[in-house]
Amino acid sequence: MRVRRIFVDAELDPGGSIDLPSDTVNYLRNVLRLRDGQPLEVFNGRGLRASATLSLGRREATVAIGSVTESPGEAVVPITLMAALAKGEKMELVIQKAVELGVTTIAPVETERSVLELKGNRAEKRLVRWRQIMINACEQCGRDILPTIEPIRSLAESLAATDVPVRLVLDPRAERPMTDLRELPRPEGVALLVGPEGGLTEEEVARAGEQGFRALTLGPRILRAETAAITGVAVLQYQWGDLG
């Protein structure tokens, strides 16, 4: 029988117990249809996982923590994905797949051609939604360290806040292919900027270049924004991470 994984935002102490929030209880009971006494694996998003046993009441549930272990190592090179805002499911797809591929930080970016504008309360609600997608992706893929999701920033703010040693921007007009990365030694960290539907403007790519971003292309075909983001991260993980 498959042992289900769930996220708990708590310390994992052997022999202890954790009360589960109502939404998790509803998910376990009505979606997964688990029963009282079933084994679980829990993780806290901070590098620990534990075996656990579910105690399921009528309206509440707890997990009894068994043995606790440190999580397997993460990707070799920390990757920051700077993803331009995209509509609904496209942005959610990028976030989900980025987590599965081992991205450590996701930075949502407003660009000139972004078709989605998020401000104030709408932005806060969307960040909560995206964090839940990240949690679900970690539960599914066996990852125990929850990536960081940064506040939504303008492109200028996001570029200024980036301080990793290798900085890349995907641009179909670029002269150099992403395969040029084979010439570089493994860095301490890498940031990948991916534009929205319609791409980054020439001025935005130039602005990124002024901040140390190297423009690279993924090949002769024009990819959708979500395809470019997922493919770019996969290439980085193959080159420097745990897919190579």
Residues shown for the chain = 244
Structural domain ending residue among the three candidates 14, 47, 70: 70
**Sign of dihedral through CA atoms 26, 30, 32, 37?**
positive
Alpha-carbon gap, residue 90 to 92, rounded angstroms? 5
**What pLDDT score does 116 carry?**
66
**Residues 56 and 106 both lie in one domain:** no
Q: Are the C-beta atoms of 16 and 59 separated by less than 8 Å? A: no
Distance of CA 110 to the CA centre of its chain: 18
**What pLDDT score does 32 carry?**
86
**Residues 84 and 65 both lie in one domain:** no
Q: Are the C-beta atoms of 90 and 230 separated by less than 8 Å? A: no
Alpha-carbon gap, residue 55 to 9, rounded angstroms? 18
**What pLDDT score does 244 carry?**
66
CATH number, domain at 161? 3.40.1280.10
**Residues 102 and 66 both lie in one domain:** no
**What pLDDT score does 183 carry?**
83
Q: Are the C-beta atoms of 100 and 75 separated by less than 8 Å? A: no
**Residues 96 and 214 both lie in one domain:** yes
**Residues 115 and 207 both lie in one domain:** yes
CATH number, domain at 49? 2.40.240.20
Nearest to 84 by CA among 238, 219, 225: 225
**Residues 138 and 30 both lie in one domain:** no
Structural domain ending residue among the three candidates 70, 93, 115: 70
**Residues 54 and 90 both lie in one domain:** no
**Residues 83 and 56 both lie in one domain:** no
Nearest to 85 by CA among 111, 106, 104: 111
**Residues 150 and 204 both lie in one domain:** yes
Structural domain ending residue among the three candidates 17, 35, 70: 70
**Residues 201 and 94 both lie in one domain:** yes
User: DSSP class of residue 202?
Assistant: H
> In this structure, which amino acid lies at residue 167?
R
**Residues 204 and 236 both lie in one domain:** yes
**What pLDDT score does 29 carry?**
87
**Residues 63 and 87 both lie in one domain:** no
Number of structural domains in the chain: 2
- State the 10-residue block means of pLDDT for the chain, 244 residues long: 87 94 88 90 93 89 94 84 89 96 95 77 87 94 93 94 95 92 90 94 96 94 94 94 78
Domain span holding position 170: 79-240
